[in-house]
Each structure stands twice: as structure tokens, then as C-alpha cells.
Amino acid sequence: MSQLSIITTSLEALQIPSICLRQKAVDIPSNVDSKLLRGLVSEMVFALYAARGVGLAAPQVGVGWRLFLAMERDSEAGPSVFINPHFVDMADEVVEGREGCLSLPGYVSHKVPRSTAVKVEALNQFLEPVTVEASDFLARVIQHEYDHLDGIMYIDRLMNRDDLEIETTQSRAERAVEALFTRETAL
């Protein structure tokens, strides 16, 4: 798989039940054409921003390579690029938290278990080795996107399918109103 052909000029996140989301991605070859890689990463960044996401994996746009983007919420710095990543350390502490997915729009869960901190080795967009240590939100994003590389989705990590909620504008607004009038958050 040394050559990649992108047919579309505008990538969009695939949605369940696309088979690409359930397949294990392969490493990007060391001799990959830099223009091809730059084009793919660029298109993925545009797709990520268009969807207002914080992470996007290559399999989500139909490319079976081990590549993902991850960023903090409202980051001015933009996403980090992770090519052929692997975890070298993960915190023993696991907490449940909120996740949604561009490939499963309209749903969220507040009970997705993830390690609170991770250490990842990967290549960056220049194919240079990098080590990234992340905690809290960014650690969650990295684990979520890494799962996509192995054909795993956050719903697979739920203990109970009833923990999956429909996310609508009304449900988000109701939660925001509730938070506004909760004394702990209003102070």
C-alpha cells in the first residue's frame, strides 16, 4: 500500500455502518510521498475544522492508514499530527467522561472510560519522531482517535448501551440551563 489515491477533493467523516470504521489500519510506509501525505493531512485538517471536531483519524475519511489529528478544545495552535503512533505509557487511573464522534453524529455518552494521562510515540507531519505526553481532555481525544486506527469506536467501550444518549440542540440547551442554575457552577 505504498500509493494512495484520494478521489474526492473534500473529505468528510464516514458514518456507521461504513466498513472502513471497523477495519484495522496499516502503518504509513517510510517511503511515502511527502506531497501525498501533505495533501491527506491538509484535507483532514479542513474536514476536522468543517465538522468543528477535536480529532479525526484517517480511517474516518476512508483511508486505511495509521494517522490521526488531535487537538485541545478551542485551540488556536491547531491539531497535532500522529503518524504510526503507539502508546508507551498510560495512567492506571481511569475515569468516565463525555465523548461523541464525527462518525456517529447525534449521539454522546458521559460514561466512556479512558486513562487520565498517556504518553505516545509517533511521527509528525514531517515524518520526524515525536513523543507526546497528554492528560485529561487531550489524553481522551488521543485515545479516542487511536481506537479508530484499530477499528474500535467509543460505543464499544461502554459498559451498557443505555449509556449512549441522543444529542440534540434541545438536550444541549437543557443541560446548559441546568448548569446555569446550579449553585456550584453559577458561583
For residue range 34-74, what is the model confidence (pLDDT) as tens digits?
Answer: 999 999 999 999 999 999 999 999 999 999 999 999 999 88
Using alpha carbons, list the distances in angstroms from residue 41 to 38, 57, 66.
5, 10, 12
Residue 13 included in any domain: no
Residue 4 included in any domain: no
DSSP 133-147: EEEHHHHHHHHHHHH
Band (185; pLDDT cuts 50, 70, 90)? low
pLDDT score for 7: 40
Residue 150 included in any domain: yes
Band (6; pLDDT cuts 50, 70, 90)? very low
Residue 8 included in any domain: no
pLDDT in tens, 130-148: 999 999 999 999 999 999 9
DSSP 71-121: --TT-SS--EEEEEEEEEEE-S-EEEEEEE-TTSTTEEEEEEEEESEEEEE
Rg (CA), the chain: 17
Residue 88 included in any domain: yes
pLDDT score for 166: 86
Band (186; pLDDT cuts 50, 70, 90)? low
CATH number at residue 133: 3.90.45.10
pLDDT score for 172: 77
Nearest residue to 28 (alpha-carbon basis) of 36, 18, 19, 20: 36
Report the domain count for the chain: 1
Residue 31 included in any domain: yes
Residue 159 included in any domain: yes
Using alpha carbons, list the distances in angstroms from residue 3 to 30, 63, 66.
12, 11, 14
pLDDT score for 8: 44
User: Is 145 an active-site residue?
Assistant: yes
Band (165; pLDDT cuts 50, 70, 90)? confident
Band (3; pLDDT cuts 50, 70, 90)? very low
Residue 12 included in any domain: no
Annotated catalytic residue within 12, 72, 145, 184: 145
Structural domain boundaries enclosing 85: 19-186
